[in-house]
Amino acid sequence: MAITTSDDKNLRGLLYIVGQNSTPFLNMIGGLNGGKTVYSDSFALSVEATGSAPSQNTQSEDTAAAAGTPTTYAKSQNFNVTQLMKYDAQLTYKKANAPGMITGLNNTEAISSPDGLDFQKEMALLQFARDLDFSFIQGSYVGPTTSATNMKTRGILEAITTNDIDASAAVITKAMIDSLMESMYGNGAVLVNPVFVVPANQKVAISDLYGKAPDSRNVGGMNIQELETDFGNVGIVLEPNMPSDEVLLADLSVINPAFKADISWNDVAQVGASVGGFWYSEVGLDYGPEIYHGKISNLI
């Protein structure tokens, strides 16, 4: 990002941050669970053990009296990584000392952003949140190797492999949603706080399937609608960083941001006639057992 100089003059009028800037998935998991602290680049998500299929497992008195055959239940561990995120903002002294230099229409309206560095910091932090929300949903895993490696956290969509319903390039149907929830339930998903996270086009399609939603509820500070399903009420929330051809069903009760370094602003030593610093964090997604979540992919 280039240094901000006096060539970037102020403007008069109200300031609006345009574009899609909402981060509902990040807001929900951060507001609900608050995040966790980790102490290395790679961190454990869950340790999982699976028993045998249930059966009418009985024995006779004679068999029970004899030496038995022990069973060993194996465990497995799942990992993710933190990614390093850094957003710089730097302002020349000349720019900082000239908030009254304006361009465009010159009238009596207030200057939109008289303090240039604060504005650049605010915009950088907003971009930080947008990129983190995108990473937590669509992130593609890159693990640690050397200091030159650009590590990337695995997003929840890439993580889901068990409960993945392929729509085969069709419009979403209630049967697909039922199949997804049946798959999750059958595979042991706890469904404590399930929420559909959907793009705009799939939100419209799902509303057409279910009609008017019941009363909304608050999840992690977000007011979301609910759908009434055979497996209980499930929240549904719009998410701008969801791909248009996928629908996510996430159990928010097991999802946390994982911080190796908290988000912080760091002033830098003076570099010539300029002032500035950077936002910094090392953060990844702890999505818990992937089997607790599900998705419908390849929709139209």
Mean pLDDT score, 38-49? 89
The answer on pLDDT for 47 being more than 60 is yes
CA 110 to chain centre: 37
Mean pLDDT score, 216-229? 74
Mean pLDDT value across the chain: 88
Count other Cβ atoms within 10 Å, centred on residue 121: 19
Taking each continuous run of H as one helix and of E as one strand, the counts in the chain are 7, 13
Instruction: Report how far apart the first and last C-alpha atoms of the chain are (Å, whole number).
Output: 37
> CA angle at residue 298 from 296 to 300, to 5 degrees?
105
Dump pLDDT digits (tens) for 233-287: 999 999 999 999 999 999 999 999 999 999 999 999 777 899 899 999 999 999 9
Nearest Cα residue to 130 out of 21, 242, 19:
21
- Cβ–Cβ < 8 Å for 140, 155: yes
For residue 35, name the pLDDT band (cuts at 50, 70, 90): confident
Q: Find tokens 């404590």 and name the residue.
A: 192
Count other Cβ atoms within 10 Å, centred on residue 100: 9
Element (DSSP H or E) covering residue 207: helix 200-210
Flag the least confident range among 135-139, 202-206, 207-211.
207-211
Q: For residue 179, what pLDDT is reported?
A: 97
Residue 96 identity: A
The answer on pLDDT for 26 being more than 80 is yes
- Cβ–Cβ < 8 Å for 112, 14: yes
- The whole-angstrom separation of Cα 162 and Cα 78 is 14
Mean pLDDT score, 39-59? 87
Nearest Cα residue to 99 out of 1, 4, 6:
6
Provide the whole-model pTM: 0.86
- The whole-angstrom separation of Cα 234 and Cα 181 is 10
The domain ranges of the chain are: 24-38+80-152+258-286, 168-252
- The whole-angstrom separation of Cα 31 and Cα 24 is 10
